[in-house]
Structure 1
Amino acid sequence: MLLAIDAGNTNVVFAVHDGREWRGRWRIATRPDRTSDEYAVWLLALLQFSGLKPGDVDRCVIGTVVPAALYNLRRLCREWFLAEPLVARAVLDWGFAIRVDRPGEVGADRLLNSLAAHRHYGGPLVVVDFGTATTFDVVDGSGAYLGGVIAPGINLSLEALHTAAARLPRIGIGRPQAVIGRDTVAAMQSGIYWGYVGLIEGIIGRIRAEQEAGMKVVATGGLAPLLAEGTAVIERIDPDLTLEGLRLLAERNPVPTLGKTPLRDPG
Structure 2
Amino acid sequence: MILVIDVGNTNITFGVFSQDELVSSFRMTTQMPRTSDEFGINLLTLLSSNGVTTDDIEGVMIASVVPKTMHALVNAIEKYIGKRPYIVGPGIKTGIKIATDNPREIGPDLIAGAVGAYELYGGPVMIIDFGTATTYVTVNAEGEFFAGVVAPGIGISAKALWQDTAKLPEIEIAKPKSILAKETISSMQAGLVYGQIGQTKYIIQEMKKEAKMPDMKVVATGGLGRLISAETEEIDIYDPILILEGLKVLYDKNRRK
Q: Is the pair's TM-score, using the shorter chain for normalization, greater than 0.5?
A: yes
- Residue matched to 2:136: 136
- Residue matched to 2:248: 247
Q: What CA distance in whole angstroms lies between the structure 2 residues aligned with 1:254 and 1:121?
A: 22
Report the Cα offset of residue 56 of structure 1: 1.3
Q: What CA distance in whole angstroms lies between the structure 2 residues aligned with 1:30 and 1:178?
A: 35
Alignment of 1:162-241 (within 5 A): 162-213=162-213, 214-241=215-242
Secondary structure in 1 aligned to 2:98? coil
TM-score in terms of structure 1 length:
0.92
Report the Cα offset of residue 140 of structure 1: 0.4
What's the CA shift string for 1:3-33, capped at 9, x where partnerless?
1111000000111112242221010100363
State the aligned residue count: 256
Alignment of 1:1-267 (within 5 A): 1-31=1-31, 33-213=33-213, 214-254=215-255
C-alpha contact (below 8 Å) 2:93/2:253 kept by paired residues: yes
Q: What CA distance in whole angstroms lies between the structure 2 residues aligned with 1:187 and 1:70?
A: 40
Structure 1 stretch displaced more, 49-58 or 127-136 = 49-58
Return 5+ residue gaps in structure 2 as ranges. Answer: none
What's the CA shift string for 1:42-80, capped at 9, x where partnerless?
221222222221121121111100011111111111101
What's the CA shift string for 1:122-178, capped at 9, x where partnerless?
111110000000000011012210121000010100110112221111111111111
Runs ≥4 in structure 1, deviation > 2 angstroms? none
Change (3 A) 1:162 1:107: same
Q: What CA distance in whole angstroms lies between the structure 1 residues aligned with 2:218 and 2:255?
A: 31
Q: What CA distance in whole angstroms lies between the structure 2 residues aligned with 1:8 and 1:158?
A: 18
Structure 1 stretch displaced more, 197-206 or 41-50 = 41-50
Change (3 A) 1:136 1:252: same
Secondary structure in 2 aligned to 1:22? strand
For 2:25, the aligned partner's letter is R
TM-score in terms of structure 2 length:
0.96
Q: What CA distance in whole angstroms lies between the structure 2 residues aligned with 1:145 and 1:246?
A: 16
Report the identity percentage.
38
What's the CA shift string for 1:178-221, capped at 9, x where partnerless?
11110111111111111000000010010011011121110000
C-alpha contact (below 8 Å) 2:44/2:80 kept by paired residues: no
For 2:239, the aligned partner's letter is D
Q: What CA distance in whole angstroms lies between the structure 1 residues aligned with 2:198 and 2:114?
A: 23
Return 5+ residue gaps in structure 1 as ranges. Answer: 257-267
Q: What CA distance in whole angstroms lies between the structure 2 residues aligned with 1:225 and 1:75?
A: 35
Q: What CA distance in whole angstroms lies between the structure 2 residues aligned with 1:62 and 1:31?
A: 18
For 2:209, the aligned partner's letter is A
Structure 1 stretch displaced more, 12-21 or 133-142 = 12-21
Secondary structure in 1 aligned to 2:196? helix
Secondary structure in 2 aligned to 1:253? helix
